Amino acid sequence: MGLLTDLRDSISRVVDRLFSESEPKRIGIYGPPNAGKTTLANRIARDWTGDAIGPESHIPHETRRARRKENVEIERNGKKVTIDIVDTPGVTTKVDYKEFLDHDMEKEDAVRRSREATEGVAEAMHWLREDVDGVVYVLDSTKDPISQVNTMLIGIIESQDLPVLIFANKIDLEDANVERISNAYPQHETVELSALEGENMDEVYAKIAEYFA
Ligand SMILES: Nc1nc2c(ncn2[C@@H]2O[C@H](COP(=O)(O)OP(=O)(O)OP(=O)(O)O)[C@@H](O)[C@H]2O)c(=O)[nH]1
Ligand SMILES: [Mg+2]
């Protein structure tokens, strides 16, 4: 009797899983260097899985290879989505090693960092063409939105018809101006947040569950 009940329970668990779980959606976090992509990816990963993705830094191009966190389950307002988060290197139009010399870096290290960053940018573009189901574009709300965006990257995103959310980050800073961002990209929804302080994360998760389910 007990054995039969156990067996019936295990079968019903397997059937439940087969019908309720779909493949994780792969969500790429894109945006310029220093916008807070890794800070956001780490916060999402910590909130839902308990561990982080990678190091954050005030020096641009800290992330130079795409990093992935798989099977992050996010649930909000009765909507549940399982995502693989891909934190990508910041994408600019050019990577100049002289930029790093301002951060007290030896020339040799700066040149290596910029070479790695350029490769990472190419890798981020490659991911986008092959392997991403949705895009989170992180911008720094204290900066001019147009000059932060790489037109080639936006072009690829729009040609693929992927779901896109724009995250206006760093709203904890006094100079933040979210409207400037939402006005610049009216075709996409803009969600404001502070990845560092964890401000407005409820809405962030609600939108992720809504857009990428
Ligand atoms: N004030 C404030 N600072 C933030 C916020 N999010 C990130 N930062 C800071 O911005 C800097 C860059 O953050 P990262 O998460 O490393 O930025 P990134 O976009 O991953 O940068 P790359 O990997 O270089 O492309 C760090 O000093 C963070 O602490 C935020 O919401 N508010
Ligand atoms: Mg990073």
pLDDT single digits (tens) 58-100: 887 788 888 889 999 999 988 889 999 988 888 766 666 677 7
The residue among 112, 67, 131, 63 whose CA lies nearest residue 91 is 63
Q: Work out the mean pLDDT of the chain and round it to a whole number.
A: 86
pLDDT of 174 > 90? The answer is yes
- Kindly state if the Cβ of 90 falls inside 6 Å of ligand 1: yes
Query: How large a percentage of the chain has pLDDT more than 70?
Result: 92
By the CB criterion, residues less than 5 angstroms from ion ligand 2 are 37-38, 62-63
The residue among 177, 88, 175 whose CA lies nearest residue 136 is 88
As a whole number of angstroms, the distance between CA 61 and CA 34 comes to: 7
As a whole number of angstroms, the distance between CA 156 and CA 168 comes to: 21
Separation of CA 137 and ligand 1 centre (Å)? 14
- Looking at per-residue pLDDT, the higher value among 49 and 3 belongs to 49
Tokens 């302080």, located at residue: 197
Instruction: Locate the DSSP E strands across the chain.
Output: 25-30, 67-76, 79-87, 134-140, 164-169, 189-192
CA-nearest residue, atom 27 of ligand 1: 58
Which range among 106-115, 136-145, 192-201 shows the weakest confidence by mean pLDDT? 106-115
Structure tokens at 19: 């019908």
Distance in angstroms between the alpha carbons of the first and the last residue of the chain? 40
What's the confidence (pLDDT) of residue 15? 67
With a CB cutoff of 8 Å and minimum separation 6, the contacts of 206 are 76, 77, 79
CATH 2.60.40.150 given to domain 22-212 = no
Query: Which mutation among 29, 30, 39 tests ligand 1's pocket best, with the greatest number of atoms within 8 A of CB?
Result: 39
- Kindly state if the Cβ of 62 falls inside 6 Å of ligand 1: yes
The residue among 2, 62, 35, 7 whose CA lies nearest residue 167 is 35
- Kindly state if the Cβ of 63 falls inside 6 Å of ligand 1: yes
The residue among 99, 102, 90 whose CA lies nearest residue 35 is 90
As a whole number of angstroms, the distance between CA 171 and CA 111 comes to: 32
pLDDT digits (tens, 9 = 90+) for 36-62: 999 999 999 999 998 888 888 888 778
The residues spanned by each domain of the chain are: 22-212
Separation of CA 188 and ligand 2 centre (Å)? 23
CA-nearest residue, atom 7 of ligand 1: 36
